[in-house]
Amino acid sequence: MPRPLRVAIVGSGPAGIYAADALLKSEVAADPGVSIDIFERMPAPFGLIRYGVAPDHPRIKGIITALHQVLDKPQIRLFGNVNYPTDVNLDDLRAFYDGVIFATGATADRDLKVPGFELDGSYGAADFVAWYDGHPDYPRTWPLEAEKVAVLGVGNVALDIARVLAKTADELLPTEIPPNVYEGLKTNKALEVHVFGRRGPAQAKFSPMELRELDHSPNIEVIVDPEDIDYDEGSIATRRGNKQADMVAKTLENWAIRDVGDRPHKLFLHFFESPSEILGEDGKVVGLRTERTALDGTGNVKGTGEFKDWDVQAVYRAVGYLSDQLPKLPWDIDSGTVPDQGGRVIQESGEHLQSTYVTGWIRRGPVGLIGHTKGDANETVANLLDDYANGRLQTPASPAPEAVDAFLAERNVRFTTWDGWYRLDAAEKAQGVPFGRERIKLVEREDMLRESGA
């Protein structure tokens, strides 16, 4: 009787779990069967959903329910707190699995190459998000002394940062934020938050719902300058062809024509302002210089040579995420992705790196919404299964599942399991009960490992 197809997935975020789901729904899952091991460097699963989404987004975090149902399947095992490549590398995985899928996402900040980016008070978006999401590998405190703050970027991450900075700590208290984040936000002095985009309203990458959520807080006054509402032929074409872009533009138009209210925290959305320099004094941020831009007819913009200095004491750079380079895999340094064809990892020679695949942001870069990674996963898995059907996968030396447990034990890797996640989940929910909160997230890695029974 043939043994099940053995597949390793590195990364337990949406991309990795969607790949596991696609495998389980394939014909191979019925005969001869599929056996999947998911390796995750954090003690807890869910990746971006747990450590990259703002805590006041229960709708997006609700995706965990669907992901949870996949990980509940008996064909899947979770190995948490296992780091690639220090605990396990590609050669190790090849010894145990027919195929390996990398779904490691993107967690670092893409560089914004403007003078002054290195100043004290200039922060990467990924670092701030990791702090307020309670990532165990980041500092427990965050400097929130600035009364006027700039956020560079017009994507959903920029909105998350602006919203967290503009809200009060008590507004965020009902969420799962840990105590150190709540105490830090209580010291936040920000009264003005300025979000800057170098193009116009039609080119903003906000999702309509996230944008409208800005206006739901009783403490945040959202302000749009009517002079920033402008469209050219390319912008009009974008609105006609993209329902979401049109909804975003309409929301911004409505905000631009209304009277400014008296909510205490002001959140300004600026368009046609391209950051040219972060201004400093004595090594600290004291301002931001932007160049006014103008539409060129195609939806793109050009500089006008008109500059403006903005009085801010902190700058958050939300201009995109970047994946970490994976050892033993080819790398495209410009895009920050692993070269691929249909999810198959492609070497410099143009040949497929046998039995090795990618999906999600490590494959195509950090673009699109969470659900978009499902299509990636389906394509990648389809090609893996095609290689399996046509005998192109390598044969592992030790395909028995227990060989992986023995290997990790020999390496003294203290790993967590899916049963361990149930224990950690229960512990976090129990922490919230006395305060009437759904959960309070554990931050310290050691606490997570202990509660998980690692």
Query: Is 369 marked within a binding site?
Result: yes
Average of per-residue pLDDT values in the chain: 96
Residue 389 has pLDDT above 70, yes or no: yes
Among 9-18, 215-224, 359-368, the minimum mean pLDDT is found in: 359-368
Buried-state track 384-393, b at ≥16 Cβ within 10 A, e below 16: bbebbeeeeb
**3-state secondary structure labels for all residues of the chain:** CCCCEEEEEECCCHHHHHHHHHHHCCHHHHCCCEEEEEEECCCCCCCHHHHCCCCCCHHHHCHHHHHHHHHCCCCEEEEECCCCCCCCCHHHHHHHCCEEEECCCCCEECCCCCCCCCCECEEEHHHHHHHHCCCCCCCCCCCCCCCEEEEECCCHHHHHHHHHHHCCHHHHCCCCCCHHHHHHHHCCCCCEEEEECCCCHHHCCCCHHHHHHHHHCCCEEEEECHHHCCCCHHHHHHHHHCHHHHHHHHHHHHHHHCCCCCCCEEEEEECCEEEEEEEEECCEEEEEEEEEEEECCCCCEEEEEEEEEECCCEEEECCCEECCCCCCCCCECCCCECCEECCEEECCCCCEEEEEEECCHHHHCCCCCHHHHHHHHHHHHHHHHHHHHCCCCCCCCCCCHHHHHHHHHHCCCCCECHHHHHHHHHHHHHHHHHHCCCCCCCCCHHHHHHHHCC
Residue 2 has pLDDT above 90, yes or no: no
pLDDT more than 90, % of the chain: 92
Please indicate, yes or no, whether residues 212 and 73 belong to a single structural domain of this protein.
no
Q: How many residues would you count in the chain?
A: 454
Q: What is the mean pLDDT of residues 338-363?
A: 97
429 is a domain residue: no
Please indicate, yes or no, whether residues 33 and 182 belong to a single structural domain of this protein.
no
- What per-residue confidence (pLDDT) applies to 320? 87
**What is the tens place of the pLDDT at every residue in 44-57?**
999 999 999 899 98
Q: Which residue has the higher pLDDT, 62 or 152?
A: 152
Query: Is 40 marked within a binding site?
Result: yes
- What per-residue confidence (pLDDT) applies to 120? 97
439 is a domain residue: no
Please indicate, yes or no, whether residues 177 and 280 belong to a single structural domain of this protein.
yes
- Measured between alpha carbons, how far is 368 from 386 in angstroms, rounded to an integer? 27
* Residue range(s) defining the domain that contains residue 355: 5-107+323-415
Q: What is the mean pLDDT of residues 176-191?
A: 97
**What is the tens place of the pLDDT at every residue in 222-243?**
999 999 999 999 999 999 999 9
Please indicate, yes or no, whether residues 266 and 377 belong to a single structural domain of this protein.
no
pLDDT more than 70, % of the chain: 100
- Measured between alpha carbons, how far is 14 from 104 in angstroms, rounded to an integer? 10
Please indicate, yes or no, whether residues 114 and 102 belong to a single structural domain of this protein.
no
Please indicate, yes or no, whether residues 200 and 241 belong to a single structural domain of this protein.
yes
- Measured between alpha carbons, how far is 341 from 168 in angstroms, rounded to an integer? 46
Domain count along the chain: 2
Please indicate, yes or no, whether residues 261 and 327 belong to a single structural domain of this protein.
no
Predicted model pTM: 0.95
Please indicate, yes or no, whether residues 94 and 127 belong to a single structural domain of this protein.
no
Query: Is 342 marked within a binding site?
Result: no
Residue 244 has pLDDT above 90, yes or no: yes
- What per-residue confidence (pLDDT) applies to 110? 86
Please indicate, yes or no, whether residues 204 and 303 belong to a single structural domain of this protein.
yes
The CATH code of the domain that includes 307 is 3.50.50.60
394 is a domain residue: yes
- What per-residue confidence (pLDDT) applies to 452? 98
Please indicate, yes or no, whether residues 239 and 257 belong to a single structural domain of this protein.
yes
Query: Is 310 marked within a binding site?
Result: no
- What per-residue confidence (pLDDT) applies to 21? 97
Please indicate, yes or no, whether residues 97 and 128 belong to a single structural domain of this protein.
no
Q: Which residue has the higher pLDDT, 111 or 93?
A: 93
- Measured between alpha carbons, how far is 101 from 89 in angstroms, rounded to an integer? 13
Query: Is 289 marked within a binding site?
Result: no
Please indicate, yes or no, whether residues 354 and 253 belong to a single structural domain of this protein.
no
Residue 450 has pLDDT above 70, yes or no: yes
Q: Which residue has the higher pLDDT, 373 or 190?
A: 190
Query: Is 364 marked within a binding site?
Result: no
Query: Is 48 marked within a binding site?
Result: yes
The CATH code of the domain that includes 31 is 3.40.50.720
End position of a domain, from candidates 321, 339, 372:
321
- What per-residue confidence (pLDDT) applies to 160? 96
End position of a domain, from candidates 321, 351, 367:
321
- What per-residue confidence (pLDDT) applies to 192? 98
Q: What is the mean pLDDT of residues 100-125?
A: 93
Q: What is the mean pLDDT of residues 333-345?
A: 95
445 is a domain residue: no
Residue 1 has pLDDT above 70, yes or no: no
> Which residues contact residue 291 at a Cβ distance below 8 angstroms, ignoring those fewer than 6 apart?
273, 274, 276, 303, 304, 305, 306, 307
Query: Is 368 marked within a binding site?
Result: yes
